């Protein structure tokens, strides 16, 4: 099993603040995805990163894949209450199955 | 926007009973998956399905579990004899290639 550890596990910030969520593993992944999940719903894909060192931006969200393809980060600028949710990273490991990270629960306080 | 549809949204069953969870993947997708999420825990891979056969399965996916694509549109997960610890949200996902999943909204299975 290829483990993905996310940190922090819980994050509560004020609206307008910036934050970074980390996703780390000792394993190499051929690609990595970030999802956001709301209570009672399935995860919704935000982005896929494939190349080591790749940076992708999605409005106020910036995603980076580590050079060695073992880690990734999600940076949110000027967080808004609508960003509240569970953020999951997931990496494609051996056999093309996805391994989900432990999740980061973000609460943005108005 | 195309979506993955799962039914029922909530199923309550008695321990030892068989349940079938149903999924309608996006029509032109080729890869199909089942994941589960026990309340408060991480999303766990169960099985992947491609070209009408299981391509990968996790250690969770034991002999009590089976998957089928009976009619080219539905993708089902059967649990033969449910246990209390099978209570979880079960998510179906599909993708056109090996990544880029679209998840369904899940079926909450409660075993009593």
Stretch A49-60: mean pLDDT: 94
Please measure the distance between the N-terminal and C-terminal CA atoms of chain A and give it in whole angstroms: 39
pLDDT-wise least confident of A32-41, A60-69, B93-102 = B93-102
Residue A53 Rama label (left phi>0; alpha psi -120 to 50; beta):
left
β-strand partners of B75:
B23
Name residues 37-96 of chain A within 8 A of B (Cβ): 40-45, 48, 88, 90, 92, 95-96
CA–CA distance, B93 with A96 (Å, rounded to integer): 14
CB pairs under 8 A between A and B: 60
Residue B56's pLDDT is what?
87
Residue B35's pLDDT is what?
94
Q: What does the block give as tokens for A33?
A: 């995805």
Residue B80's pLDDT is what?
96
Residue B72's pLDDT is what?
78
Residue A95's pLDDT is what?
59
Chain B CB contacts of A40 below 8 Å: 89, 105-106, 108
Length of chain A in terms of residues written = 110
SS3 label, residue A53: coil
Q: Do A97 and B48 touch (CB under 8 A)?
A: yes
CA–CA distance, B2 with B12 (Å, rounded to integer): 28
- Residue A1 pLDDT > 60: no
CA–CA distance, B74 with A29 (Å, rounded to integer): 30
Length of chain B in terms of residues written = 112
Query: Where residue A2 falls among pLDDT bands split at 50, 70, 90?
Result: low
Residue B13's pLDDT is what?
97
Q: What is the DSSP letter of B80?
A: S
Half-sphere exposure of B6 (CA within 13 A, CB side): 28
Q: What does the block give as tokens for B91?
A: 């998510």
Which parts of chain B sit beneath pLDDT 50? none
Which residue from A49, A76, A77 is spatially nearest to A65, judged by alpha carbons?
A: A49
Residue A43's pLDDT is what?
87
Q: What does the block give as tokens for A24?
A: 């780390």
Residue B41's pLDDT is what?
83
CA–CA distance, A104 with A88 (Å, rounded to integer): 7
CA distance A33 to chain B (A): 8
Neighbour count for residue A30 (Cβ, 10 Å)? 13
Query: Where residue A94 falls among pLDDT bands split at 50, 70, 90?
Result: low
Residue B11's pLDDT is what?
96
Going by their DSSP bridges, the two strands B102-103 and B5-7 should be labelled as unpaired
- Residue A9 pLDDT > 90: yes
Q: What is the DSSP letter of A80?
A: -
Residue B98's pLDDT is what?
61
Picking from A9, A97, A104 by the largest number of B CB atoms within 10 A of its own CB, the best residue to mutate is A97
Residue B96's pLDDT is what?
83
* pLDDT > 70: percent of chain A: 94
Residue B32's pLDDT is what?
92
Q: What is the DSSP letter of A14?
A: E
The answer to whether A23 faces chain B, any CB pair under 8 Å, is no
Residue B2's pLDDT is what?
78
The answer to whether B35 faces chain A, any CB pair under 8 Å, is yes
Nearest CA in chain A to B49: A97
Label each residue of A82-95 as H, E or C. HHCEEEEEEEECHH
Residue A97's pLDDT is what?
66
Nearest CA in chain B to A92: B99
Residue A79's pLDDT is what?
97
């Amino acid at each position: 099993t290829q483990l993905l550890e996310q940190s922090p596990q819980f994050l509560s910030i004020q609206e307008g603040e910036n934050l970074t969520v980390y996703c780390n593993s000792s394993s190499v992944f051929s690609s990595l995805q970030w999802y956001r999940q709301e209570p009672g719903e399935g995860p919704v894909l935000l982005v896929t990163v494939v190349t080591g060192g790749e940076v992708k931006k999605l409005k106020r969200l910036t995603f980076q894949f580590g050079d060695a393809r073992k880690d990734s980060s999600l940076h949110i600028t000027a967080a808004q209450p609508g960003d509240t949710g569970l953020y999951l990273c997931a990496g494609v490991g051996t056999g093309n199955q996805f391994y989900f990270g432990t999740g980061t629960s973000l609460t943005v306080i108005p | 926007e195309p979506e993955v549809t799962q039914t029922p949204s909530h199923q309550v069953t008695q321990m030892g009973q068989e349940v079938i969870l149903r999924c309608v993947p996006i029509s032109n997708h080729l890869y199909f998956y089942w994941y589960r999420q026990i309340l408060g825990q991480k999303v766990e891979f169960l099985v992947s399905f491609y070209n009408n056969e299981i391509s990968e399965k996790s250690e969770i996916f034991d002999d009590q579990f089976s998957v089928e694509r009976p009619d080219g549109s539905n993708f089902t997960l059967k649990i033969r004899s449910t246990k209390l610890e099978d209570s979880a949200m079960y998510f179906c996902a599909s993708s056109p290639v090996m990544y880029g999943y679209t998840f369904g909204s899940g079926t909450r299975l409660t075993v009593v």
